[in-house]
Amino acid sequence: MKTIRVACLFFVILFLFSALFSGIFLCVKSEAADVSYSSAKAMCVMEASSKRVLNSKNMNEKLAMASTTKIMTAITAIENCKDLDEKFEISPKAVGISGTSLYLRKGEVFSVRDLLYGLMLISGNDASFAIGEHVGGDINTFVKMMNETALKIGASNSHFDNTHGLDSKTHYTTAYDLALITSYAMQNHIFKEIVSTKNTKITNADGKTRYLKNKNKLLNSFDGCNGVKTGFTDDAGRCLVSSAERDGMTVVCVVLNCGPMFEECSRHMENAFENYKLYNLTEMYQFENVLPVTNGRSQSVEVCTYGKYFYPLKESELNKVKITYDIEKTLDAPIEKGQIVGEVKIYIDNNLHFSEKIFTIESVRRNSIWQKLFDVLTEW
């Protein structure tokens, strides 16, 4: 009897341990399978054209951004430099900036375009200062231009103290703002061309060549990757802004203070591409494109819209799209080409996202004896 009790107790203990370890295993497996999980202090995944946030964590927390600052430096320079190929001398102030360096020398001559490659591929802090000094006239003016550009974009929770991203108490951004800035910058073909470049070389006026290799590993490992910028400081930790395009949809991923930054950006962007598709919602219109006409030379007139509206949606979200039409049932001649005859609105989850007018695509003259007489006289 005692032996049976011991055996039963043994099996009970074995069962409890089995259940315990199974639970631990399932928890670990569940966490690993949770693609929305992030070890970053802050993270934001955004579809670039619509600015829709697809995934996030602490995306509005103000944090140091390290060299991802240079995204703002680059787009500010590109938009405010009259001639990117104009060559200029490197001033003494731009030489010897701490941190990652292009090792510029006083009096060297480069173009802004060359230095932009040095800025975005190998993260030259000295290049950032030289660019700012040349484009802004002085570095303080250029930093002011950076902050003005941020506000124009809508990045209201960001503030820039410098062009390179070295730590400063009042130099900060948020994951959301940085995704917004990057989405804006990627619309510029010059910026996009620079940040998508894997390897290049720049040569100064004396013929000395520097070979540049992009630090963004995802350009070689992630399908569709086309940018953008890495960064690291003690305060900011490892930071990465990445971008990729597939099937016409561009996804921007920002991770701030994230150890496995390349792995995390890859995972979050892959998840976005797997779950979302960029839809042209104007292709879902179903209004009658021919309207009847009274008192006209023609009994009908064709109408149309001209706009396009793209938005990323999961397949399960398509039923949240509602389209309403406010259009005249009958038109009375005369009718002018381009005459507004209605309006169409697109709602997603009861929120208005897009609206546009409906226009006639041809003229219709009035069918009257006076109109016929006028036509005869005009032709004569």
Whether 314 is a known active-site residue: answer no
Residue 372 has what pLDDT? 62
| 159: three-class secondary structure by DSSP | strand
Whether 123 is a known active-site residue: answer yes
Using CA atoms, how far residue 244 sits from 34, 46, 101, 228, in Å, is 22, 11, 27, 9
Q: pLDDT digits over 317-369, tens only?
A: 999 999 999 999 999 999 999 999 999 999 999 999 999 999 999 999 998 66
Question: Is residue 211 within 8 Å of residue 199, measured between CB atoms?
Answer: yes
- CA–CA dist 284, 280 (Å, integer): 8
Compute and round to an integer the Cα radius of gyration of the chain: 30
- CA–CA dist 315, 210 (Å, integer): 48
Average pLDDT across each block of 10 residues of the chain; the chain has 380 residues. List them in order: 48 46 38 65 98 97 98 98 96 95 96 98 98 97 98 98 97 98 98 98 95 97 98 97 98 98 97 98 95 94 96 97 96 95 97 97 84 64
Whether 67 is a known active-site residue: answer yes
For 42-275, CATH gives: 3.40.710.10
| 167: three-class secondary structure by DSSP | coil
Catalytic annotation, pick one of 38, 56, 67, 266: 67
User: Where in the chain do CATH 2.60.410.10 domains reside?
Assistant: 282-379
Residue 36 has what pLDDT? 66
Q: For 68, list phi and psi in degrees, rounded to 5.
A: -65, -15
Using CA atoms, how far residue 260 sits from 56, 239, 362, 364, in Å, is 17, 10, 59, 65
Residue 374 has what pLDDT? 65
Residue 367 has what pLDDT? 86
Catalytic annotation, pick one of 70, 111, 229, 242: 70
For 282-379, CATH gives: 2.60.410.10
Using CA atoms, how far residue 316 sits from 19, 347, 363, in Å, is 36, 16, 42
